[in-house]
Structure 1
Amino acid sequence: CAGCGGKISDRYYLLAVDKQWHMRCLKCCECKLNLESELTCFSKDGSIYCKEDYYRRFSVQRCARCHLGISASEMVMRARDLVYHLNCFTCTTCNKMLTTGDHFGMKDNLVYCRLHFETLIQGEYQVH
């Protein structure tokens, strides 16, 4: 086992980064999350990471909506100085996904579809 160095005599084992692991030994080196049931794990300089810790430590940018890392090869949406995963660029009110060419507005660094932004702005300027 790449984790504990012990012999693997279990019926099942995990194969990650071309090494064999006891199911109980494949853990994130940062948070110690057991990765046996995770779909992905990440490796850097011989250490194993869960997705969140890998992106937290090694990503350059973070999504303004979900706060997870954005890899250099990912397609993104940009608004002002903020960057979003494509799936995260949604209206704060209705969660409608916004794509290139869609009209949207921003208030307090939150994204709104055109309808909800106009409703928000109209509500601010009503005379009471």
Structure 2
Amino acid sequence: MSEPPSCRSCSESLSGQTIIRVAEEPICVRCYQRRHANTCQECKQLIGHDEKELVHQDRFFHENCFRCCSCNRSLAAEPFTQQGGALLCSSCYCSRYSSRCAACSQSVQPGSRMLEYDGAAWHEDCFLCSGCRKPIGSEAFVPDNRRFYCLACYEQQVAPRCSHCRKALTKGGLTYRGEVWHRDCFLCCGCGSALAGQTFTSQGERPYCVRCFSSLYAKKCAACNTPITGFGDGKYVSFEERQWHQPCFKCSRCSVSLIGSGFFPDRDQILCADCNSDD
């Protein structure tokens, strides 16, 4: 018969003792506990050779010590999450930290697919178009007064209509007299040129570019005979049936400016006080 092995650490005979092998070498229980056993992170006791050991992120636990820090449920066979070093079962984690779906008010489970927008969260199956009630998923959508629409429903049901072409206006555009227009549809009523980004005016309810308004409706300056449009340096002086650009309002004889001064009409002329006294 071969001799019983001895402990490779303390050389004590292992005859009649429990033999533990570390790296294929026989070791007695006492040496194993002293040199190789891990300490439980929870109870701070050694984990014996005959006890089941669980490991999480280089931390060791007795099986019975591996529990949710909130409800004390065993996590040995349960899904769990770590939060700030503490272990939590899925239920406790959700009740404490998970977002709640804005549609059904239930917790959004960790790892599940969800959608977030403007500080709120939804289960993927709860984020529905307010028109067709189908899940929007990763498709484009348009928010409108706390409702959400897929592009097709937004264009059909919600989007404002261009006052010119009556088609849906989904982006860009402009507003004029309380109505909306595509930028390409907002045109001069005279020549049909685009007015978006240009200076324009109106006659009644109809918009006109400066050129068309000047030729069709603007009054002519009594001095230079060009239109008075009111644009740019557009201040003007009006007297009886005549109008003048402000820079053109001068004495007909000496050309001194009459702005802020008294003047005297003389048939088709306007005169300053000095020229009028010369008559």
TM-score (norm 1): 0.52
The equivalences for 1:17-36 within 5 A come to 17-36=57-76
Partner residue, 1:41: 81
Specify which structure has the bigger relative contact order, considering alpha-carbon pairs within 8 angstroms and separated by 6 or more residues. 1
Q: Describe the SS at the equivalent of 2:94.
A: helix
Q: CA deviation at 1:62?
A: 1.0
**Amino acid corresponding to residue 26 of structure 1 in structure 2:** F
Question: 5+ unaligned residues in a row in structure 1: which ranges?
Answer: 91-95, 102-128
The CA RMSD over aligned residues, in Å, is 3.6
Between the aligned partners of 1:37 and 1:28, the Cα distance in structure 2 is 12
Partner residue, 1:86: 124
Partner residue, 1:99: 137
Identity, % of aligned pairs?
A: 29
Question: 5+ unaligned residues in a row in structure 2: which ranges?
Answer: 1-39, 129-133, 140-279
Between the aligned partners of 2:64 and 2:53, the Cα distance in structure 1 is 9
Between the aligned partners of 1:68 and 1:23, the Cα distance in structure 2 is 29
Q: How many residues align?
A: 94
Q: CA deviation at 1:68?
A: 1.6
Q: CA deviation at 1:52?
A: 2.3
Between the aligned partners of 2:65 and 2:105, the Cα distance in structure 1 is 29
The equivalences for 1:1-128 within 5 A come to 1-9=40-48, 10-44=50-84, 46-59=85-98, 61-64=99-102, 65=104, 67-69=106-108, 75-76=114-115, 83-87=121-125, 89=127, 99-100=137-138
Per-residue deviation, residues 5-63 of structure 1 (Å, max 9, x unmatched): 1111245321123211111111111111111101333231x32211222232234x312
**Given that residues 47 and 62 in structure 2 are in contact (C-alpha distance below 8 angstroms), is that contact kept between their aligned partners in structure 1?**
yes
**Given that residues 56 and 69 in structure 1 are in contact (C-alpha distance below 8 angstroms), is that contact kept between their aligned partners in structure 2?**
no
**Given that residues 76 and 86 in structure 1 are in contact (C-alpha distance below 8 angstroms), is that contact kept between their aligned partners in structure 2?**
yes
Between the aligned partners of 2:62 and 2:125, the Cα distance in structure 1 is 35
Runs of 4+ in structure 1 over 3 Å off: 87-90, 96-101
Q: CA deviation at 1:98?
A: 6.0
Between the aligned partners of 2:105 and 2:53, the Cα distance in structure 1 is 33
Q: Describe the SS at the equivalent of 2:91.
A: helix
**Given that residues 63 and 70 in structure 1 are in contact (C-alpha distance below 8 angstroms), is that contact kept between their aligned partners in structure 2?**
no
TM-score (norm 2): 0.27
Partner residue, 1:112: none
Q: CA deviation at 1:4?
A: 1.1
| Structure with greater Cα Rg | 2
Q: Describe the SS at the equivalent of 1:35.
A: coil
